[in-house]
Structure 1
Amino acid sequence: MSTTKSYVKKNLSLAWPLALNALLMQSMLMIDTLLVSPLGEISLAALGIATTIVAFVMGIQMALANGTQLVISRAVGAANSASVNRGFWAGMAINFVVALLFWTLIQVFDVALISALTDNESLIATTQHYLSVAIHIVLLNAVTQVIIALFNAVGRTKVPFKGYLIEMPLNGVISYFLIYGFAGFEGFGVTGAALGSLFAIVVRLIFLCWCMKLDPNINVSMKELDASMKSNIANHFKEIFPVAANITMLAVGATIYQLLYSQLNINAYVAITIMMPWIKAGTQFITAWAHSSAISLSQAIGSRDLKDLDKKLNVSIDMAVGISVVSSLFFLILSLFISDIYPDLDESTYTALAVIAPLYIFLPLVRGYNTVHGHALRALGKTTEVFKVNFTGQWIVSIPLCAAIILVFDGSIFWAFAVMPFEEIVKMLPFRHLARKAVKEFDQQKADKLLYD
C-alpha cells in the first residue's frame, strides 16, 4: 500500500504541472480563436487551416521530444549525468534538424498546399499571410520542446509550467493589439495572431534557458561532449524513432481528420475548428497523468527497480479513468455555454456545435483509457506493438471510414465526427491485452535491453 501511495504521490507531483503546461499551450490557440472570431468565418477558417499545418509539424517535434524524455528519464534513474548531457544534446540536434527540414518545405510549398485544401481565393490569401509568420514558430518550438523534456525527466515539471504561464497572457495581449491595432495603427488582422504567438514563444525560450543556467543540478554543457557524440546521436535516433513514429502517425492522422473536415460546409468546419482546441485542452490532464506514469516507469527501469510494475499500471489505469470522467463532465458544462463563449457566429455554426456535443462529451472516456496504456507500453519498450494498434485503428479502419462518409456519402457532421470516438473504441481491447502481457513478461533482461548509454 505504501508503494502505491508513493507512486501516486510522485506521479501527481509530476502530472499537474504537465497538465497545466499542455492546457496553457492549448489555451494559446483558443485565445487566438477567440480574438479572431469577430473577424468572421473566413478568418476563422484560415486560422484553422494554417494552425493544422503548424500543429502537424509541432506534433512531430513533441513526438521526438517525448522519445528524448524517456531516454533522459532512464539516465536520471541511473544517476548518470554524462548520459543526461549526451541525451539532451542528441535530442536537440535531431529535433532542430527535423524542424529546419519542415520549415524549408513549407516555405517552398505553402501556396500549393493551401490551394489543395480550398479553392476560395480570399481564404487562400488569408491563410498564406498567417502561415508565413506562424511557420517560424516551429524553429523555436524545436528548442523549447527538448528543454521541456529535460526538465520533465529530472522531475522539475513546474519550470515549463511557469514558462507557459508567462507566455499565455503575453500572447493574448500582444496578439490583440497586433490584430486590431492601437493608437492609429490599423493592425494586421488574423496575421497579428501569428505575430503575437511568435513574440510570446521567444520570451518563453529565454525564460527556459535562464532557468537551465540557474539550476545547479542541470549541467548540459557542450564542452563536455566528445567524438562519441556522433554515434550517440545515431543511437539516440534509433531509440526515439519508434516512439516518434508512433506519435507522429497519430498526429498525421489527426491532421488528416482535420483536412477531411475542411471538406464539410464552412459552418460545420468552423464548429470543429472551434472545438478541437477545447478537446485537446480538456483531455490534457489525462495525457499528463499518462506522461508522468511513463516518466516514473522509465526512471524505475534506469535504476533497475522493477518491483510492483503490475500494481503501478493498475493504479495508472484507475486514475486515468477517473480523470476521464471529470473531463467528460467539463465538456458537458462547456456545451451548455458555448454560445456565450462565442457570441458572434452564424446560427448554422451553433447548430453544428450542438450536433457534435454528445460525441465530444463521450470521447474522453475512451481516449483516456487508451492514452495511459499507450504511454505505459512505450516506457516498457513495446512501441512497435502500440504502433500496430494505433495504425490499424486509425489508418486501416477510421480514416478510410471518415473519408467515405464525407467524400463518398456526403454524410453529416455528426457521422463524420463520430469516427473519432469510434477509433478509440476499436483500440481499447488490444491495448488492454498488450499491457497485461507486457507487464507480466517484463524482467531485468528486458530492462537492460532498453539501456544503451
Structure 2
Amino acid sequence: MSATPSTATPPAAGPASLDVFALAWPMTLKAIILHGTVVIDAYLVSALGETALAAMGLAAAVAGFVLGAILAFSNAMQLRTAQAFGTGDPVFIKSALACGMAISLTVGCVGLAIISLFGGSLIGVMAPTQQVADLAIDYLTVFSLVIVGEAIGQCLSSYFNGCGRTRLPLYSFCLSLPINVITSIVLIHGYFGLPAFGVTGAAMGSAIAVTVQVGFLVVRLWALDGYLRHVAGWRQLSFVATLRRHLAFALPIAVTFFSATFASHVCTLIYARLNLNEFAAMTIIAPWIMVAGTIGMQWAQATGIIVAQLLGQGQREEILDRFLRSAWRGAFVAAGVVAVIFLIVCLSASYLYADLDVETRTVLLSFLPILLVLPFPKGSNAICGNTLRASGDTIYVMHIFVWSQWLFRVPATALAVLYFDVSVFWVLSLLFFEELLKFPVFHRRLLRGDWKRAKIAN
C-alpha cells in the first residue's frame, strides 16, 4: 500500500505558494480557535466569581508547563514526519510515529508525576487563599486526564500535519470544541439533574472533549495508515537506536520552544513594573501579537513541512529554490495581512476598549509604527528557521533563538524598564530589534545553501 499522497510527488516544476496555503490555512484556523478556547473557558468559569476564576487560572498555569513541553516536542515530530513522508519509506514513517508517540507520552507522564509530587505545594504557596488552593487542586486532578489526552492528540495532529493532511487536526478540534463548551456549561452549573461541580466541571468538560478529539484522530489513523502496524523493522537497527536519533533531532527544537515561552514569561513579569496604563496597554496587545502572528508562523511551519518532504524525496536544488522563492513571497503577503490586523486593532481601540482610560488607548495607538513593520522580519526569519530545521540544522536554529532571547531581549527589557525607565514604545520595539538581530545570521545560513544538499538518511 502506498504511503505517498499527491504532495509527496510534485510535478516537475515543484510545489508553490498555493501548496503552502493548502497546508497552512487549516493549521492557522486550528491555532486561532485554540487561543479562543482559553478565552471561552475563562468566560464560562467567570460566572462563578473571582475565586473560581483565580483557581482555574492557577491550575492552568501549573498544567501549562507540561502542555507546553508536549507541544514543543510535537513541533519537532511534525518536521520529522514530513522528512519520513517525503522518502515514502514505510519503515521511516512508522519509526517517526512510534518515536514521537513514545516521547510525547513520556513527557506527559513525567509531567504528571511532577505535578503529583509538587503541584499541591506549589499551588499552596501561590494561591492567595486556601479556598482558591483547594479549588485549583480539584481542577488540576481532573485536568490530568486532559494532559494524557493532549500527549496523544498533539502527537497524532503533528503526524497528520507532517503527512500533509492538515485538515484532519482541524476537523478533530471543530468536533471537540462544541462538546467542550456544552459539557462544561452542564457540569459547571449542574443542569439536567446532574450535580453542579463548579470549576471542576470545566476540567471535566475539557477531559470529555479531548477524549472525543483523540478518538477521532485514532480512527482516522487506523483508516488511513493502519497498514503501518504490519511494517517490520525500524529506521535504525533497533527501536532504542531509532528513538535516540529521533530525540537528537527533536530536542533542539523543543529547547527553542521552552526558551521562548520562559523568556516571554520573564518579560511579562518585568512589564508589570511599568506604570498602570502602560502595563494595561502591553497586556492588551500581547494576545493580539500572539493570535495575529499565528498567520505568519503557520505559513512558515507549512513551508518547513514541504521542504522536509522535498528533501526526503531528494529533489533537485532548482526545485527547492523555486519553491522557497514562492513560499517567501507568500510569507510577505501573510506579514501584510498581520500588519493590517494590527492597524485595525489600534485604530479601533476607542471602540474595542471604550471602558479603558484615554491614556491607555493613547499608548495602544502609539504601538502602531512598530506593529506595522514587526511582521515582515519576523515572518522572513520564521521561513529561514523552519527551512533550516527541515534540513536537520536544528542546533544552529536553537542557538539563534536562545541567545537572542537571553543575551538581548530579556536583559534589554530589564534595563529599559527597571533602570532607564524608557518609554513603553521602545520597550515594545525590543521585539522588532530582536528580529533584526536574528535577521543576518538566519539569512546568511540559508543563502549559503547547505540545507539544499542535506541528506535525510537517518
**TM interval, short-chain normalised:** 0.7 to 0.9
1:381 and 2:376 are equivalent in the alignment: no
Please list the CA deviations of residues 287-320 of structure 1 after superposition, one character each: whole Å capped at 9, or x if unmatched: 2211111111111111100332333333222211
Instruction: Give the 3 Å change call, closer, same or farther, for CA 133–415 of structure 1 in structure 2.
Output: farther
Displacement after TM superposition at 1:169 (Å): 2.1
Q: 1:322 aligns with which of 329, 333, 346?
A: 333
Q: CA–CA distance in 2 between the matches of 1:46 and 1:268?
A: 27
Alignment partner for residue 229 of structure 1, among 217, 239, 253?
239
Deviation at 1:89, TM superposition (A): 0.7
Q: Equivalents in 1 of 2:333, 2:414: separation in Å?
A: 33
Matches within 5 A, 1:38-437: 47-114=56-123, 127-182=136-191, 187-215=196-224, 217-221=225-229, 224=232, 228-260=238-270, 276-308=286-318, 309-335=320-346, 347=356, 352=360, 355-356=363-364, 359=367, 361-362=371-372, 363-405=374-416, 418-437=429-448
Q: Distance in 2 between matches of 1:355 and 1:365?
A: 23
Q: 1:187 to 1:53 in 2, by over 3 A?
A: same
Deviation at 1:263, TM superposition (A): 6.9
Deviation at 1:394, TM superposition (A): 0.8
Instruction: Render the CA deviation track for 1:184-226: whole Å, top value 9, x for unaligned.
Output: 77845544433322221111001111111222x4533288457
Judged with a 3 Å threshold, the aligned counterparts in structure 2 of structure 1 residues 181 and 265 are, in CA distance, closer, same or farther, namely farther
* 8 Å contact from structure 2 (residues 62, 119) kept in 1: no
Question: What letter matches 1:368 in structure 2?
Answer: G
Task: Supply the distance in 1 between the matched residues of 2:366 and 2:269 (Cα, whole angstroms).
Answer: 22
Does residue 29 (structure 1) correspond to residue 35 (structure 2)? The answer is no
Distance across 2 between alignment mates of 1:49 and 1:268? 24
Tell me the secondary structure at the aligned position of residue 164 of structure 2. coil
- Provide structure 2 residue ranges, at least 5 long, that are not aligned to the other structure: 1-10
The one-letter code sitting in structure 1 at the alignment partner of 2:65 is F
Q: 1:443 to 1:403 in 2, by over 3 A?
A: closer
Instruction: Decide which moves more: 263-272 or 298-307.
Output: 263-272
Letter in structure 2 aligned against 1:221? R
Deviations, residues 55-74 of structure 1 (Å, cap 9, x unaligned): 33323222212222222222
| Larger deviation, residues 369-378 vs 289-298 | 369-378
Question: TM-score normalized by structure 2?
Answer: 0.82
Post-superposition shift, 1:161?
1.0
Provide the C-alpha distance between the structure 1 equivalents of 2:57 and 2:422, rounded to a whole number of angstroms.
21
Q: Distance in 2 between matches of 1:134 and 1:274?
A: 28
**Residue 165 of structure 2 aligns to a residue in which SS?**
coil
- 3-state SS, counterpart of residue 203 of structure 2: helix
Distance 2:280 2:45 in 1: 12
Cα pair distance change 1:246/1:130, threshold 3 Å: same
Deviation of 1:274 (Å)? 6.2
After superposition, the C-alpha distances for 1:337-367 in whole angstroms (9 at most, x for unaligned) are 6787789xx746x965763465484443443
Q: Structure 1 residues 333 and 17 mapped into 2: Cα distance closer, same or farther (>3 Å)?
A: same
Percent of pairs with identical residues: 29
Count of residue correspondences:
442
1:451 corresponds to which residue? 457
Cα distance in 2, alignment partners of residues 188 and 269 from structure 1: 35
1-structure distance, mates of 2:375, 2:61: 21
Aligned mates of 1:186, 1:339 — CA distance in 2 = 43
**CA 1:451/1:312 → structure 2, altered by over 3 Å: closer, same or farther?**
same
Where does residue 4 of structure 2 map in the other structure? none
Contact 2:252 2:395 in 1 (8 A): yes
What secondary structure, in the 3-state scheme, does the structure 2 residue paired with 1:221 have?
Answer: helix
- Shift in alpha-carbon separation, 1:49–1:257, aligned structure 2, 3 A: farther
Distance 1:172 1:32 in 2: 8
Mapped contact 1:11–1:293 kept (Cα < 8 A) = yes
- CA separation in 1, counterparts of 2:247 and 2:231? 21
**Deviation of 1:251 (Å):** 2.7
- Change in Cα spacing, 1:353 to 1:167, as seen in structure 2 (3 Å) is farther
CA contact (8 A) 1:163 1:207 kept: yes
